[in-house]
């Protein structure tokens, strides 16, 4: 999965713990920028308004719901 492809898009994310999130991907972090060595994205969650970061290993599924 290339998380970079989701930058700027509104997505539904199901985390590995089963929680669901919906929001626009507003940040992309390269693997070399993370201590884990994995890429990650951050979304502005529509329900809570919080900024939530998702390392690749924490994403069970991700679906684009809007390209805008």
Domain of 50, CATH number, reads 2.30.30.100
35 confidence band (pLDDT: 50, 70, 90): confident
pTM of the model: 0.89
Residue 12, domain extent: 3-66
Q: Which helix or strand (DSSP H or E) is residue 63 part of?
A: strand 59-66
What percent of the chain is modeled with pLDDT above 90?
A: 85
Q: How many domains does the chain have?
A: 1
Task: Supply the pLDDT for residue 36.
Answer: 84
Task: Calculate the alpha carbon distances from 9 to 31, 35, 37, 41 in Å.
Answer: 20, 25, 23, 11
Quick one: tokens of 68? 């805008």
Residue 49 contacts by C-beta under 8 Å, 6 or more apart in sequence?
none
Q: What is the pLDDT of residues 51-65, one digit of tens each?
A: 999 999 999 999 999
Residue 2 contacts by C-beta under 8 Å, 6 or more apart in sequence?
39
């Amino acid at each position: 999965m290339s998380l970079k492809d989701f930058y700027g898009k509104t997505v539904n994310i199901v985390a590995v713990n089963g929680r669901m999130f919906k929001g626009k991907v507003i940040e992309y972090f390269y693997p070399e920028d993370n201590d884990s060595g994995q890429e990650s994205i951050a979304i502005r969650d529509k329900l809570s308004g919080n900024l939530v970061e998702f390392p690749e290993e924490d994403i069970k599924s991700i679906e684009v719901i809007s390209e805008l």
